[in-house]
Structure 1
Amino acid sequence: MQKLLKNIKECTICQEHLPFGPRPVVSAHQDSKIVIIGQAPGTKVHASGIPWNDVSGKQLRKWLGVSGETFYNTSHFAIVPMGFCYPGKGKSGDLPPRPECAPQWHEPLFSVLKQVELVILVGMYVQQYYLGKAAKNTLTETVENYNAYLPKYFPLPHPSPRNRFWLTKNPWFELDVLPELRSRVKGLI
């Protein structure tokens, strides 16, 4: 595992497309029980090198019902993005994750993550990649039908402050989905 993480952190396969250069962000241990797959680091995470070290991460920890100490305990959580480096900014916000990373690194990571019991899929790009045709037409439908993907996968929207409108429009998420998520997380850690 240590050699694999070192190889990932030294990766430069998409260097020419990265405005701030490569700085792969990943966190895992061979005993991790839960894998959180997000989209790609933002600028704050790129600067710190610590996954989910921003406002979105604070919200995600709240959704999971865990402290920062628990969240960053790699025997509990592996944190694996679709794109390991900050992809840059587009017209409507950060660009999608680079397409090179997941095919290059996810399979090798999962081959050594033998204790995983739950994979949390954060955001549409992740859900489309991992659920394929089983994903519903929209992120909202996929998250609303989270039971269809259990016990292996648990789809979530992105916890970005930009999604406040989505959360307001979909009160069932906090009422029905989050208690189930917290219960499953608590049962595994």
Structure 2
Amino acid sequence: MYIEPRPVVKVSKSSKIIIIGQAPGTKVHASGIPWDDASGKQLRKWLSVTDQQFYNTNLFGIIPMGFCYPGKGKSGDLSPRKECAEKWHEPLFEKLNNVDLVLLIGQYAQKYYLKEKVKSTLTETVNHYKEYLPRYFVMPHPSPRNRFWLKKNPWFEEHVIPDLQKRIHKIIG
């Protein structure tokens, strides 16, 4: 089944925090609103921000690794299409004047931006999040599918999330 491309990107020159996730899922593809799903609800909870703050492009810019829904695979959505990040990320970042922090959500964003500095597993990368500061803040994807990862790694919500929230609120005021 062919799905018409529908890029989902939301950013302005004045965005202070850039969120780089994977690619839109079916619900986001249908609505055209980034993070308009259960993952987005969890992400806003982790960031401790309102919907109004989250969708204010003066505060947050949203640039996924793949701009369009990549299609369905055997165990979930397919990987983000590589050509989006390769073609559009650098030109977009060249236009951004105000970025204080880039959130790298999930392994695709982390591998792309951290390159050889990424650890061998997502858990190890997230556990060493302070190594990537002050530019990048690494985190797992907030998908409900990751509930087992969260249960297995309680340190993330106990220690990493409070640090993330403190940094977010310092930046957005």
TM-score tier by shorter-chain length is over 0.9
Where do 5+ consecutive residues of structure 2 fail to align? none
Secondary structure in 2 aligned to 1:41? coil
Residue 84 (structure 2) pairs with residue 101 (structure 1): yes
**Is 1:166 paired with 2:152?**
no
Alignment-derived partner of residue 5 in structure 1: none
Q: Tell me the equivalent position of 1:128.
A: 111
Aligned with 1:100: secondary structure? helix
| TM-fit CA distance, 1:146 | 0.3
CA distance in 2, matches of 1:182, 1:173: 12
1:32 matched to which residue of 2?
A: 15
For 2:96 and 2:126, locate their aligned partners in 1 and report how far apart those are by CA, in whole Å: 25
1:102 alignment partner, SS class: helix
Q: Secondary structure of 2:80's match?
A: coil
Structure 1 residues not aligned, in runs of 5+: 1-17
Residue 65 of structure 2 corresponds to 82
Say what the alpha-carbon RMSD is for the aligned residues: 0.8
Moved over 6 A (4+): none
1:47 pairs, out of 5, 9, 30, with 30
- Shift in Å, 1:21: 1.4
Is structure 2 residue 45 aligned with structure 1 residue 62? yes
Q: TM-score normalized by structure 1?
A: 0.90
Following superposition, the deviation at residue 114 of structure 1 comes to 1.2
Which of 123, 132, 136 in structure 2 is aligned with 1:140? 123
Tell me, yes or no, if the aligned pair for 1:19 and 1:87 is still in contact at 8 Å.
no
Q: Distance in 1 between matches of 2:82 and 2:12?
A: 24
TM-score scaled by structure 2?
0.98
Alpha-carbon distance in 1 for matches of 2:75, 2:108:
16
- Displacement after TM superposition at 1:121 (Å): 0.2
CA distance in 2, matches of 1:160, 1:99: 21
Aligned residues: 172
Equivalents in 2 of 1:113, 1:183: separation in Å?
A: 23
Counterpart of 2:170? 187
**Alignment check: 8 A CA contact 1:120 1:156 kept:** yes
Tell me, yes or no, if structure 1 residue 118 matches structure 2 residue 101: yes
Aligned residue type for 1:32: S
Question: Is the counterpart of residue 72 in structure 1 residue 39 in structure 2?
Answer: no
* Overall identity of the aligned pairs, in %: 66
- Report the Cα distance in structure 1 between the residues aligned to 2:129 and 2:85, rounded to whole angstroms: 22
How far did residue 107 of structure 1 move? 0.6
